[in-house]
Structure 1
């Protein structure tokens, strides 16, 4: 069977119609995950033993179990215990799953970034009369976030690609559409190659934007 270039090119407009699901899931999940991750790191910095252990278990669970299993738990398992969640949509379940999973990875990224900021920065801030919280919010955290940007960017890319798992929950997004096209036309290579190129373009666009952000942040600290 020869490669059908015409079908391959026609696949792009059809698949692009579903790209908004992929982008929205990735962006929303990254934002929510970042907020959760920042909260987890802030709580860990309080050095409350039992709280630190709970957070460590949370991070360990979401980093140590497959995302697909987590999605099945949130979409099929948890609603059996919590009745109001029975009406949760696949899209909402994906947001929850991606956000929680992403927060565990981003928490470690932010923690590592904070630890990489020289301790002298905190000491200098305290010496001029700042409280520890003020020093952290105004001096340490802004520098840590600048350091964490590449890691958070990589996590966004992972979430972007992981959003393809939405098809297992019944959400017709870009991967599900490519599967349908491949099954109905038997043009498997053409359908999935078009899909791969779209993902590639999305990632490259984000990488370009990330490099711009990194350059701007670097200028601010010259």
Structure 2
């Protein structure tokens, strides 16, 4: 059964080695609501502060809060990018992270080659990729550019390819930092439809966003975060 469970989860970031930089300390303190600590290695920021929760199948979770509240850090902790400083994070189920669509893609390689490179990072085997490569190329609308190095692509073309790859293979858990909007008006319309269908196939969605209307539209449960704490946890 797909689930995400945090138990007294705490995550500290080391900032720099010297604890004597008073100006930087003041800036960090102001930006984090005073959630800084000194240790033998210098200064650390408490990004997630002793939170516990359980997300289950069928839930669409919205993470809201000001910049620096801990939303993105929590997403990365769920994805396994950040390890807990203390407490635990337990995830059951496959994950697709839409936090950085172009992760692992190389501008010196062709679009076709990058399809396979990106999929390797997603844990998808070569034989499985081959079954879907034509669909990825067709949806991206890159045409003959798929055989050209990505350094020849515009930003929009690169994003279209990355989006097409990431939304091809269904996963139990989908992680998003803001709702994705890709390409021009025509492509964006079909991308929105594809994204909604992709999410529908997942068991759990965790979406961090500043867009209250989008959260209300998509999510069934909303966690309000503030300086690393869960200030409120309510069903939408």
More strand by share: 2
Structure (1/2) with the larger helix percentage: 1
Q: TM-score, normalised by structure 2?
A: 0.24
Q: Which has the higher contact order (CA 8 A, sep 6+)?
A: 1
Higher Rg of the two aligned structures: 1
